[in-house]
Chain A
C-alpha cells in the first residue's frame, strides 16, 4: 500500500476480517478480550440462551476488581467479601469462567488486580493488538501502540461468541505535546490539561494519537496514565507509537513472546509507528514546559485548572449552557467562583485506580511520605493496582513508609474510584483523588472529588489542604 498511514490505520487495517461496505460496518478481529464481574454477566446469559460457546477462551482473561473490597486479609489470608450482591456477582463470574473455560484471576490470587493494570503487567498487552473490555478505560492499553477501547455488554457478548466486533472506522486526532515537564509536574497533569483545554467531548468520534517530545520522554507507566484518560476527553481510544521503551517493558513478561518469537514480533512492532506523511483528521496541541500541576474543581474532568489558579466564575464563560453547568457544578462541590483551591481542606486522599496505581506512582508518593506524617484528620488510602504491584511495593518497603506516615495500605482493586465497593467518600466530604472521574457521586453519594496527580495527592495528604507539590520538593528523592 503506497498511501501513508498512521499508527491507528496500521493496527486497524491489520484486523479487518471483512471490510466496511455501503450497508455494513467492518468486522474487526479482537486479539485480547478482558472481562470483569460487572459488565459481563448479562453477556454470558445471552450466550447461554443462544447455546453459543466462547470462541477464543485462550484470548480472554477475567479478573475481579470493581465490586471487590480492598480490606486487608484476615488471619486465613482471605479478603472477606461481605456485601451479598458483590458475592453473587463474583460467584457468577467464577461460574461463567469455569463453564466457558476462561482463565480467571480471582480476588486474593497472586495476579488479581484492576483489569487495565494486569494486562500490561502480564505482557498480554502488546503493540499492534486490538484489545477490548467492557470498561471505558480500556484506552489505557493504547500506551503500547495497541488499539484498545471500551465496549458495552452487548458487544462483550459479540466478542465472547465471535472474537469480532462490528465497527465503523473512527477518525484520528493527533495530540502533540511538546516541551519538557518541569519538576513536580507529571503525566497526569498533561492529560488533565488536554481535557481542560479541549473539553470532555473534544475527542468524540476520534482515536487520539499522543506524540511529541514530552510524550516520548515519558515512561510506559506515565504513557498509560495519559492513554487511560483519553475517554475523559471523549475519545474512545488513545495510542502512543511504540518505541524501544515499549519493547523493553514488554520483554520478559509472562505472556510476552519469547526467543525467536520475540524477535519476529519486534520486527512487526517496529513497523507500527505512523508514516511521516500520514495525515490526521484533527490536531490538538499542548506545551508541556508551561504546565503547572493541574486540579479539577468541578463535576467533570474537563473542569480543571492549574493548581495555583482561581476557580473560574460563570460570568467569564461565553454561553448560557456552560454558565449553567459551572453553576451547578460549583454548588455541588460547595466551592466559590473566583477563589483559589490551594489551601482548601480535604477529608480523604485516594491514591489508586487504573490511572495512577502502578509501582512508579506508589514510589513517587512514598518519596514524599518518607519520614513524614499525613495530616491529622485526613483519611489517606493507598490502593495498589494489582497484587503484583502490591508485592513489589512491599519488597521495596513502600508499605512501611505508607503505614509509618499514617496512611492505609490496602488490597488491590478499583476501590474508591467508583463508589461501588466498600471504599467510599462520605457525603459532602472532599477527596483529592488520583483517579479519573469527578462526576457527581462517583466516589460515593454526595462525595466531592478533586482530581490531581499522585504528587499533588501526596503533598495534600501531608498538609491536609490542597497543596502544590512544587512547594514541597526539597529533600524529596526521585521526583
Chain B
C-alpha cells in the first residue's frame, strides 16, 4: 500500500448523522468479485433521481464539489452492514479522508485497512469547519497524519485520535497482514496449547 502522510484537498459536507453503509453503497453493487464499479454506486439513491439523472441538490453533485478528497459528515458514519465495499467506494470516488463526529466500529476498521482516514474531531471544530464550507464551498483542508492534525481553512490545527498501530502502518506503508504472518511461531504455539473447540470440518464436506 502507498504510504499516507500529509495531503491537502477540497472538502465537501454531507450534513447527516447515522449514514449507513447501505446508503454509501447499496447491495445491488455488492455483486462484484473485485472492486470495480463501486464508485459509480456511491450514495446511489441520494446522488441520482429515480430517472437516473444526477440529483442537483446532493452535495457531491454541486459543481464546487468536483475533485473533493475530504468528506465532512456527522455522527456515527458508516453504521450498519460490515461491507468493506463502502470505504472502497468512497476511495474509488476519490476521497482520502472522512471527517466526522464519530464512526461506527466496523467502518472505521475497514477504512483504516485501506488507507481511507476516518478522522474524528471535536464538535466546536466540526461546527467551525462546516461554517467555512458554507461560506465558501471551494474550501480545502490539510490532513497531517504523522502529527494527527487537521488544519482548518483558517489555519487552526485540530488534533484527532487514531489507532497508533494503524497510523504506523499507513505512514510507513506497512502491511497489517504481513505483521500477523510474522507471528507464526506464537500462532502455532497457541494452536498446540489449546484444545480444539470445534470438531474439524473436512474439505470434502458437502451440505
Q: Chain A: residues with CB nearer than 8 A to chain B?
A: 14, 17-18, 22-25, 27, 29, 31-32, 38-39, 41-42, 45-46, 50, 52, 55, 57-61, 63, 66-67, 83, 85-86, 88-89, 92, 101-106, 109-112, 123-124, 126, 128-129, 134-136, 150-155, 157-158, 161-166, 168, 170, 200-201, 204-205, 231-232, 234, 236, 254-257, 264-265, 300, 302, 321-322, 324-325, 328, 387, 418-420, 427, 437, 439-442, 445-446
Contacts and interface: CB of A to CB of B under 8 A. Distances in A.
B33 interface: yes
B206 A103 contact: yes
Given A106-B206, A154-B113, A164-B180, 13 more contacts: A23-B164, A41-B32, A46-B177, A57-B203, A66-B27, A105-B207, A124-B201, A151-B82, A157-B177, A161-B180, A163-B191, A236-B105, A440-B22
Q: Closest 7 CB pairs between A and B?
A: A105-B207, A103-B205, A111-B207, A109-B207, A152-B110, A152-B84, A101-B203
Given A39-B83, A204-B105, A439 B177 contact: no
Of B17, B20, B50, B177, chain A has the most CB atoms within 10 Å of the CB of: B177
Contacts of A205: 105
B35 interface: yes
B76 A136 contact: no
Given A201-B76, A418-B27, A419-B27, A155 B113 contact: yes
A169 to B, nearest CB: 12
Contact of A104 (B30, B106, B114, B206): B206
B33 A92 contact: yes
Contacts of B133: none
Contacts of A236: 105-106
A440 B23 contact: yes
A103 B50 CA distance: 42
Q: Chain B, interface size: which category?
A: 35 or more
A437 B195 CA distance: 38
B6 interface: no
A60 to B, nearest CB: 7
Given A168-B163, A445-B26, A440 B45 contact: yes
A168 B164 CA distance: 11
Contacts of A25: 163, 165
B200 interface: yes
A150 B201 CA distance: 21
Contacts of A254: 199
Given A111-B207, A164-B187, A88 B33 contact: yes
Contacts of B33: 41-42, 45, 88-89, 92
B104 A204 contact: yes
Given A155-B109, A321-B17, A135 B82 contact: yes
Contacts, number: 238
Contact of A161 (B18, B50, B177): B177
A355 to B, nearest CB: 14
Contact of B50 (A14, A31, A446): A446
Given A85-B31, A151-B106, A419 B26 contact: yes
Interface in B77-118: 79-85, 87, 102, 104-106, 109-110, 113-114
Nearest to B87: A152
Given A112-B207, A157-B177, A163 B187 contact: yes
B105 A442 contact: no
Contact of A166 (B81, B105, B180): B180
Of B106, B181, B197, chain A has the most CB atoms within 10 Å of the CB of: B197
Nearest to B103: A204
Given A27-B180, A109-B207, A201-B18, A32 B198 contact: yes
A166 B102 contact: no
Contacts of A102: 203
